[in-house]
Amino acid sequence: MPDERLLSWQPVALAEPLHRLVGRHGKPAICQGWGEEIINQREIAGGGSVLCRACAGQAYYRPAQAAEQPARLCPCEV
Ligand SMILES: [Zn+2]
C-alpha cells in the first residue's frame, strides 16, 4: 500500500494548555468510537458509552490554520 494511502497528517494547534492535558495514571479504556486506547483516565463516560475526547467532541487539538506555528510541546512553554 502506498504511504499516502496508509498515512495522513495535518498540523494541529492545542486547544487548551498542555498542563491540563497531562492526565493521571490509571487503567486504560477503549474508545467505543474508533477502538483506540485511552490512557491516563481521559475517557468520557456517559449514556452507556466510553469515548475518547475527540470522539466525544472535546478534542484537545484543532486543525491549525496555515499561518499558525506548529504546537509547542514543551511544558515550560505553556
Ligand atoms: Zn475515539
Q: What is the whole-number distance in angstroms between the Cα of residue 7 and the centre of ligand 1?
A: 18
Q: Render each residue's pLDDT in the chain as its tens digit; 78 residues.
A: 888 788 888 899 998 888 777 777 778 899 999 899 998 888 999 999 999 999 999 888 888 876 665 555 555 544
Q: How is the chain split into domains, by residue range?
A: 24-58
CB atoms within 10 A of CB 31: 20
- Rg of the chain over all Cα atoms, to the nearest angstrom: 15
Q: What is the whole-number distance in angstroms between the Cα of residue 67 and the centre of ligand 1?
A: 28
Instruction: Name which of 15, 8, 17, 26 is nearest 53 in CA terms.
Output: 15
Q: What is the whole-number distance in angstroms between the Cα of residue 58 and the centre of ligand 1?
A: 10
Query: pTM value?
Result: 0.55
Q: What is the whole-number distance in angstroms between the Cα of residue 8 and the centre of ligand 1?
A: 17
CA–CA separation, 17 vs 12, rounded Å? 14
